[in-house]
Amino acid sequence: MLKKWIIVFLVLCLAVPAGICLAEQNYTPGTYTKEGNGMHGPLTLEITVDEHKILDAKLTAHMETPGMGDEAAKSVLGQLVEYQSLDVDTLTGATVTSRLVLNAATELLKEAGADIDALKAPRERNYDQTTEFTADVVIVGGGGAGLSAAATALEEGASVVLIEATDILGGNSLVVGGFMNAPIPELQDHHFEARSASIESLITDALAEEPVSEEHKALQDAVRADYEAYLKTDKTLFDSANWFALQTWNGGDKLGEIKMVEKLAGAAYDDMQWLIANGQEFRDTVTLGGGALYYRSRYAVLPNGLGYITAIKNAIETNKGDRLTLLTSTHGDSLIVEDGKVVGVKATNKRTGKEITARANNGVILATGGFAGNVELRQKYCEGEKWPDLSAKVLTTNTSGVRGDGIFMAEAAGAALVNMEQIQLLPYCNPWTGLVNDVVGGGDGSSIFLNKEGKRFVREDGRRDDMSKAIIAQTDGMMYIFGTAKSYGVTDVRDCKTLGGQPVSYLLDTNPNGYIAADTLEEMAEKLGFPYENLKATLDSYNEHVRAGTADEFGRVTFKDVLEEGPFIATARKPAAHHTMGGVRIDEMTHALDSEGNIVPGLYCAGEITGVIHGTNRIGGNAIVDYLTFGREAGRNAAQGK
């Protein structure tokens, strides 16, 4: 955890000035508990008071997003106790949770006999007047890429100013699926009982393709050599950095730059080891993440992206000394360019409106993410033949602070933008919220996708764009992810957990349209409104392929369990805008490049803000590898002024 960060709230110092007296309260002493509504489900709040003072306030149960909603709750309740006031600051990035927790606290304090009007009276706050900062490296964006860049720059001995538009570090990297890809020899040597002909067909098919360039041929030859060496061993699953690179490049329709894809694939294993060295815990299995296309995904123990962000923060804490200044709730507005070189950032504090100047001795790193949540931008750049409707009707998985602003900051400084029309819709999202943290099952081989007629319609281990387009073409543009207790590794489906760690029992009880369980296939068909004969025929056909281990009529090649014995569970899902593959053109050292391929001096970019890696479709599990590989590269090079 990050302790003792030099956090500059140019906002409010959150301190009651000397001489300001709060109205004395007369509480009925005791501990009060209340269940209220959170953003994603119920939360339980506990407050303890004596005659005149709030002694403690905490959540004892909740279903909020790990690292985001729970951090907002801690902040709000911490302020409540520290300042004995309901005039607290909500956290941008988790405003809804902040207000819901504050509402629940208000109701509890009423019960304790509080004078609520007095508790809500405005507190005086001191403002930090500092508006000028200088460091070796200035970073805009506190998500995965920005934090990775900060950690590495600090490891290199540089001083860092990190600017983040919200009050919560992590951004979209907190709400990811929680798995990353890497060839992991120690876990893949004997992953299966026997070699799988259907899985190995992925390799032989890729090697049989006619190369479209010399780079493509060279990469194929490297994979061929790796594969031939593998065939002489008793290993049961083939993988290598070269195969990872070839599959990633092919999976984006060969639009990405091969050298950039090779860098990503080649760094993945080292990135994973760096995380582990900084406290990250992974499950000891290799699996198939949703849209990952191959068995090289590894899930974190902690839900969503919390484990990754925590590990990166640990690396920052280990190396920061007094060399880190963190400016939260501060929006990067523009780059400062002098004599053709980027030398700093102009920013605005979002609470006070004060203009901030952060100057960089060595370089500026933009890590502000993409624009999948920005309806105006995605319609402007990405709406077309592939995705004819990207209006507000299409929900998003993105957090509110990720708007694509940094892309245009870079462009204004001379950087070229590429592949801006490329956007990914994630097929596994909640039809009413767009979020993915409440998904059960997905693309790991444990489930199938059913339309409203009770039939399969797409390969579940395929590309995310293909799956999303296929779902949109179904009745009501939605599907059900269908699995069994056995396929999900439990005895009772009520014991399942969502991707974000939520108990499925609550969702089954409160959201009957979105989460449905049944003991028999007949009961499930009735609850879903499927013709039983359709559902039975669908499962019979699928189970035949599972037993045979052969590719099915949709091209699926990965299988886990037959789906024939209840209890069964189905969850409603719909695609949502997830990731933009276009953005700033960069080189292997993360320098921003202009339209002629020349370096924009002093400017580095990393993460989803860039546009040269993923092509038309980002492979599931590669976003984390991307932000680690190129975030660390940017931090290293900016620190050294390379």
Longest dimension (CA), the chain: 81
| Cα–Cα–Cα angle for 130, 592, 328, rounded to 5 degrees | 25
Helix (H/G/I), strand (E/B), else coil: 67 = coil
**Dist CA 528 CA 329 (whole Å):** 45
CA distance readout (Å), 11 to 7, 129, 323, 563: 11, 9, 21, 55
CA distance readout (Å), 642 to 134, 293, 347, 590, 604: 19, 36, 25, 10, 10
Bridge pairing between strands 568-580 and 583-584: unpaired
Question: Exposed, middle or buried: residue 317 (CB in 10 Å: 0-12, 13-18, 19+)?
Answer: middle
CB 427 within 8 A of CB 461: no
Question: Exposed, middle or buried: residue 161 (CB in 10 Å: 0-12, 13-18, 19+)?
Answer: buried
Q: Tell me the two tokens of residue 114.
A: 């509080």
List the beta strands (DSSP E) in 69-150.
132-140
| Cα–Cα–Cα angle for 490, 494, 495, rounded to 5 degrees | 45
Catalytic entry in 351, 464, 556, 636: 464
464 labelled catalytic = yes
C-alpha 151 chain-centroid distance: 19
**Dist CA 609 CA 596 (whole Å):** 19
CA distance readout (Å), 558 to 192, 343, 485, 555, 562: 12, 50, 19, 9, 12
CB 508 within 8 A of CB 428: no
CB 98 within 8 A of CB 77: no
The DSSP-derived string for 359-427 is: EEEEEEEE-----TT-HHHHHHHH-SSS-S--STTS-B---TT--SHHHHHHHHTT--EE-TT-EEEEE
**Dist CA 92 CA 403 (whole Å):** 14
DSSP H or E segment with residue 466: helix 464-472
CB 135 within 8 A of CB 620: no
Helix (H/G/I), strand (E/B), else coil: 471 = helix
Residue 552 CB contacts under 8 Å (≥ 6 apart), including other chains: 459, 541, 542, 545
In terms of Cα–Cα distance, which of 424, 431, 419, 418 is closest to 463?
A: 424
Catalytic positions are 464
